[in-house]
A and B are shown apart, each in its own frame.
Chain A
Amino acid sequence: MVYVSAMLVLGGLGALFGVALALAAKKFAVEQDPRFEKIVEVLPGANCGGCGYPGCSGLAEAISKGSAPVDACPVGGAAVAAKVATIMGQEPVKGYVRKVARVMCGGDRANASTRFLYSGLNDCKAAGLVAGGPKACTYGCLGLGSCVRACPFDAMRMGDNGLPIVDEEKCTGCGKCVAACPRNLIVLVPDSSKVNVYCKSEARGAQVRKVCKVGCIGCGLCVKVCPNSAIVLENNLASILPEKCDACGRCVEKCPTKCIIMKGEGASSGCQGQAAPRACAG
């Protein structure tokens, strides 16, 4: 008799729960937009948050509801945007510009001087809080690699010269490193842009010269020499407008501190897009 009651109770419980769950699954079934799952499938699935939504499924939901554009994924680029557009029944987006991250500082160990030895937390934000950071230039790269750790795509590494290096093949332009840099040195530029000013110092020229060999001193020679007026000088700092620049290279030659650099054509591929290609020249 004992066995029978045991079997009846356990079997009964199991059957009861099974039926209850089956009924509940019917009653509480949630209808989902069929496009949602298809979009999730074509998105990269890195959940980097570069689009501003909580992960790829968050973006897929926003796209399927129409509250985000089909090309909202900065990682997938044109290919993914085209697939998503097909799922959503839209025309593929044209004029997509791939963006990559570049570190706008050339102040490596050889070029920029330091004020003190820092041995605190291994984090750029923390280092920057200690008396303005160990680097003499208060605008320069702190070199502790917070951006490298923030990169979800393994596209960054620390160079031997103390500056981070972006692998532009792997870079998806998600912008995680841009947010991680406390000095705002990392900029997303169009993949096609070749000439950049690798300095973010707004200090006066004399001050820049004291702390760094390759800083922008705000002399304005590049502005004068540029035939397309693609360079503007603001707050003692030159910056190049990528849409006007045709990469003629005159400013690169003229710059007295050599902080304007043409992205290494002909250089070895490892050097491309590096913050300080001159370190690779040898």
Chain B
Amino acid sequence: MRELIVIFLAGVLLNNFILSRFLGICPFIGVSRKIETAVGMGMAVIFVMAVASVITWAAQYYLLVPFRLEYLQTIVFILVIAALVQLVEMVILKTSPGLYQALGIYLPLITTNCAVLGVSILNIREGYNIIQTAVNGVAGATGFTLAIVLFAGIRERMDFAPIPAALRGFPIALITAGLMSIAFLGFTGFRLAELFGI
């Protein structure tokens, strides 16, 4: 149990997908103008990353390893994730229009998100079992949500700030993202394993 907590905290803070692994930057910049949409995107990513982690884990250990096809990992994972997101989108549209309104528009954006592929590959590389994989998927996505919501909050405030004309829009957003990344570097000093006595 303590190990799972460590994996979760490490995924959210230490190895934050956006701010220390630099994965999933495209939606981070693109869908962070308003807190509302950032939260929607975050929730969709949590959902997809949790499901994709588990499914790709199964694909790795029940398909690729028995056939000795580990070298096809990347392409198989992309295929699995893309099909999965499509399927999930259809199911949500049919079963829960309310949820589709909230998440649906973000789902196609996530299909080829590198954070989703990244978490799947990292799970395998770390040698996690299926429960650890699920926790790491949720943790990575929670870290993504945390970063994008914080960033959206800052960008909403920046709309009213007197920013030099040349820096308005994306330039100042990139500078802000860099500063946030430096702030998150502070978490690298945490020795989580020692803290929880593992």
Contacts and interface: CB of A to CB of B under 8 A. Distances in A.
Interface in B75-134: 75-76, 79-80, 83, 86-87, 90-91, 93-95
Interface residues of A, number: 20
B108 to A, nearest CB: 14
B94 A17 contact: no
Interface of B, helix, strand, loop or mixed by DSSP: helix
Contacts of A17: 79-80, 83
B72 interface: yes
B76 A13 contact: yes
A122 B162 contact: yes
A227 interface: no
Contact of A123 (B72, B75, B83, B160): B160
Contact of A28 (B64, B67, B93): B93
Interface in A52-102: none
Contacts of A21: 83, 86-87, 90
A30 interface: yes
A14 interface: yes
Given A122-B160, A122-B162, A123-B160, A10 B76 contact: yes
B83 A9 contact: no
Interface of A, helix, strand, loop or mixed by DSSP: helix
Given A9-B69, A21-B86, A24-B87, A14 B160 contact: no
Nearest to A58: B101
A123 B157 CA distance: 12
Closest 3 CB pairs of A and B: A17-B83, A28-B94, A121-B160
29 contacts: A2-B68, A5-B67, A6-B67, A6-B72, A9-B64, A9-B69, A9-B72, A9-B76, A10-B72, A10-B76, A13-B79, A13-B80, A17-B80, A20-B83, A21-B83, A21-B86, A21-B90, A24-B87, A24-B91, A25-B90, A28-B90, A28-B91, A28-B95, A29-B94, A30-B93, A30-B94, A122-B160, A123-B160, A126-B160
